[in-house]
Amino acid sequence: MTETLQRPTTDHVAVPGGALLPALQLGPITVDTPVVLAPMAGITNTAFRRLCREYGGGLYVNEMVTARALVERRPESLRIIRHEPDEVPRSVQLYSVDPVTTRHAVRMLVEEDRADHIDLNFGCPVPKVTRKGGGSALPWKTGLFESIVATAVREASRANIPVTVKMRKGIDEDHLTYLEAGRVARDAGVAAVALHGRTARQHYSGQADWDAIKRLRDALPDLPVLGNGDIWSAEDAVAMVEQTGVDGVVVGRGCQGRPWLFGDLQAAFERRGERHRPGVEMVCATLLRHAQMLIPYFDGDERKAMQDIRKHVAWYFKGYPVGAALRTQLLTVESLAQLEDLLGRLDASIGYPGADAEGPRGRAGSPKRVHLPEDWLVSQELNEDQRQMIQDAEVDISGG
């Protein structure tokens, strides 16, 4: 099988008119195609970002990195913030629950010239994050949220680096925070806010609330607002823009196993009708190249690269008639040669399977109880026990 990535075949339909949206301006950064790759732990490393960038324009954010682990210069955290020489702008997403650690981490990124854009994570719903008061739990504590955001903006401004915020609607429907958090972030000087239209309790279940995204857009007329949630196709992105009036979209799970989605998105935002319809041959070529690029990312550790590519197999072959036995073998692949051999057994003449290859990727799951620190919801301000907990809370949750 060839190692050269070719583009999948496309359908060409001319669509008249100008661009759907103007370029997104984040401080000194101009994003011509207002599309952002959402940071996803264990997914959006340099290899996957390159695949996406080769298909379309946008802003490509790396995996979330923990502020404390970054300040302590842990090897995995330094790997996460590594960018390729031609990757401009360099976008880093930072997770923190403590303003002091935030200051040190942003100062490090500034003084060592490691980023052109910093995004702050206030959207992660996983228990190991929220039980420490982080991610989607943190905006409930308004003062803490304001302090972290303002500290990051102040430190980043020394190098004219824009700071953005990504958040959810709130903890649950009884504890919504997005409108207040949006105003606080705006007043602290962020360049944009992105809203995932789900609560922490929803996790990834149910349907994203685009009406909430519109309400935030309307509440912040002087600040770019980006929408996130249930964008599985270019048509979904256009629908979100038209329904909510957002200035751009953030795409997460919809691009898993489909880096060409960014080509579709750019075409749609330029009002062109081109869409990628890859057959098995092109899916295999892309998957193989993805695996090849993971090897240098893991410093030449081929086995680690193969272990990493396994999680992508089901996403790449969603809807394609691969067969259970071969899928199982691909999920236990140990070497690049073995991967190439297994992919070579597929019928390369099989074309695009249509709707079966589209739609949600992975499991949406069901609503989950949100794990929070003790008495977290009693007040929107920290009590003394919570303040001490926050100071001790920053664990390394990067890459997981």
Instruction: Determine the Cα–Cα distance for residues 248 and 226; give it in Å rounded to an integer.
Output: 5
Residue 12: which pLDDT band, with cuts at 50, 70 and 90?
A: very low
Contacting residues for 197 by C-beta, under 8 A, at least 6 apart: 169, 208, 209, 210, 211, 212, 213, 227, 228, 229, 230
Does 398 score more than 50 pLDDT? no
Q: How does pLDDT run across 155-170, given as a tens digit for each residue?
A: 999 999 999 999 999 9
pTM over 0.75: yes
Q: How many CB atoms lie within 10 A of CB 378?
A: 9
CATH T-level fold of 19-270: TIM Barrel (3.20.20)
| 3-class secondary structure, 161 | coil
Nearest to 15 by CA among 337, 256, 301, 270: 270
Does 186 score more than 70 pLDDT? yes
Longest alpha-carbon distance in the chain: 65
DSSP state of 335: S
Residue 288: which pLDDT band, with cuts at 50, 70 and 90?
A: very high
> Does 52 participate in catalysis according to the annotation?
no
Residue 198: which pLDDT band, with cuts at 50, 70 and 90?
A: very high
pLDDT score for 4: 30
Q: How far, CA to CA in Å, does 62 sit from each of 52, 245, 258?
A: 12, 26, 17
Asked if residues 294 and 305 have their Cβ atoms less than 8 Å apart, the reply is yes
Residue 5: which pLDDT band, with cuts at 50, 70 and 90?
A: very low
Sign of dihedral through CA atoms 218, 220, 223, 225? Answer: negative
Sign of dihedral through CA atoms 294, 295, 296, 297? Answer: positive
Which segments of the chain does DSSP mark as H helices, in order?
Answer: 46-55, 67-71, 75-80, 99-111, 127-130, 142-156, 178-188, 210-219, 234-244, 261-269, 280-297, 302-316, 324-330, 336-344, 384-393
Q: Mean pLDDT score of the chain, rounded to an integer? A: 92
pLDDT score for 17: 53
Instruction: Determine the Cα–Cα distance for residues 37 and 28; give it in Å rounded to an integer.
Output: 19
Does 2 score more than 60 pLDDT? no
pLDDT score for 1: 30
Q: What is the end-to-end Cα distance of the chain in Å, rounded? A: 32
Q: Which one from 52, 124, 255, 284 is the annotated catalytic residue?
A: 124
Asked if residues 24 and 224 have their Cβ atoms less than 8 Å apart, the reply is yes
Does 71 score more than 70 pLDDT? yes
Instruction: Determine the Cα–Cα distance for residues 65 and 80; give it in Å rounded to an integer.
Output: 7
Does 3 score more than 80 pLDDT? no
Residue 393: which pLDDT band, with cuts at 50, 70 and 90?
A: low
Amino acid identity, position 224: P
| 3-class secondary structure, 380 | coil
Q: How does pLDDT run across 209-229, given as a tens digit for each residue?
A: 999 999 999 999 999 999 999
pLDDT score for 365: 78
| 320 phi, psi to nearest 5 deg | -95, 140
pLDDT score for 130: 94
The mean pLDDT of 238-255, rounded to a whole number, is: 97
> Quick check: bond before 89 cis, omega within 30?
yes
Spell 329-364 as b/e; 16+ CB within 10 A means b.
Answer: bbeebeebeebbebbeebeeeeebbeeebbeebeee
Of 143-152, 203-212, 362-371, minimum mean pLDDT range:
362-371
Instruction: Determine the Cα–Cα distance for residues 97 and 77; give it in Å rounded to an integer.
Output: 17
Q: How does pLDDT run across 300-343, given as a tens digit for each residue?
A: 999 999 999 999 999 999 999 999 999 999 999 999 999 999 99
Q: Which residue has the tokens 């790449």?
A: 316
Does 9 score more than 80 pLDDT? no
Instruction: Determine the Cα–Cα distance for residues 115 and 88; give it in Å rounded to an integer.
Output: 9
Instruction: Determine the Cα–Cα distance for residues 147 and 143; give it in Å rounded to an integer.
Output: 6
Residue 368: which pLDDT band, with cuts at 50, 70 and 90?
A: confident
pLDDT score for 363: 72
pLDDT score for 16: 39
Q: 302-316 vs 280-297: helix axis angle to the nearest 10?
A: 150
Asked if residues 268 and 20 have their Cβ atoms less than 8 Å apart, the reply is yes
Does 15 score more than 50 pLDDT? no
